[in-house]
Structure 1
């Protein structure tokens, strides 16, 4: 078999894992795909005979590419109070895209990705690779030109920041859907008391409406405040259809075949702990959701 064909086939075997790593590192589907493509280009320029462990080599390369992307993003990010809702992976319950099976593994929700955006690039690298992909600290340290102990410290620091700020979602998808449906029904009927009941007292609502709005992202906390906001968009409930958003119960709101918003829910201990909404028409267009509408 031709060497180039053999190498391409080997790379394709690892592509889902590389995409999963890049997505968790960057929170952007487009940037994750770019990082994976750059990894392939670097592999194509490398003598494969010199690579002892292809999986480890590819993970190292894509991680370093993502680390550089995060550092570049950090330097050009303007001071802002806005919180960016990461790109969601959306599918219908019966039409999940197998290409994103690795991305959806372990149901890494948008709430966790939002918190990961608050970490430093090196903290995020150490946490994602060790806690989500079980990469040893000696390998992680080498990626950052740091000692294994330093990598361990970075992961520990990141873990402390993540704990409590990104609630773990209930694993039962059917139960998640029941809670989300109860929320939508209460919002549609304008039943404020029922809304408060289904919401966690410390619930966080993040709504990304895009740059066309005065504030790019609205963040509301607390069951009472979120319930008051939810009652105002209850009129959209008839246009909401069930969807899987990052492997969890979510909603795709459409009208006339056009997506209006994506809503991701984090259901913890039987109540909604976080709601992440993307209503930015440009971002929705880039997510290519028309086939799901």
Structure 2
């Protein structure tokens, strides 16, 4: 796989004149193997992958070129035990490798992003039912995470290490035919463990500590309006910080969504799988901050949006 990027010209900031006209080519090759083993009620998943990447960065102001080559082995393992009553506890461990395309404000190519994660949880699906519940705890450690450069917001820089610990819960409840309730909640406690003195033990910029959502929809199963579907829900994101030094806190927000649709297959068998729908997001037109590049440069999120769609499932 080959990717090509280019960075544009930038006005010098803070007295530093970066070499900012660059072109970059990333070539990546990977080899992986995966196996799933079942014995009794245990399921074991094992995976191994090797990636090779080569990044060529051309400085179009100095007419020089640099080459960066990386090779990394990542793997994962997971073990699940399925009880007869539908309860399935599991544990897993995984590592990852992701090349980071682009250059910093000085024209230096980014190092690959690496990570490792420990996770344990429980899944539950009652036999013969569509409802599904899942809860988990995890610890994720990432190195070389990209973040906005505080000295020049048009560029990114890399944070040494971020460690996140959290819990997640999700549920899909089907109490009766046609009615679906979907819930999700996550609490994350990310901390910068390696970086500048102003960043250590602080939260990464614009990473919410809490996220939650609730959605419900119902499809009429009989009568003259059979196939009519309607639903609504709410999404919540907790507070964040505009900078990794946590000098400015951005308040959390909640958004409301709604939809109405009609399965045209209820009219004619020829239209089986065709759905016409109208979806509305942020229906109360809530004003909220969606992202910040630094403490003085933030953007508002999308206002009320209504989309009409026509889709077909095959």
TM-score norm. by structure 1 comes to 0.23
The structure with the largest helix share of the pair is: 1
TM-score norm. by structure 2 comes to 0.22
Q: Pick the structure with greater CA Rg.
A: 2
The structure with the largest strand share of the pair is: 2
Higher relative contact order (Cα pairs below 8 Å, separated by 6+ residues): 1
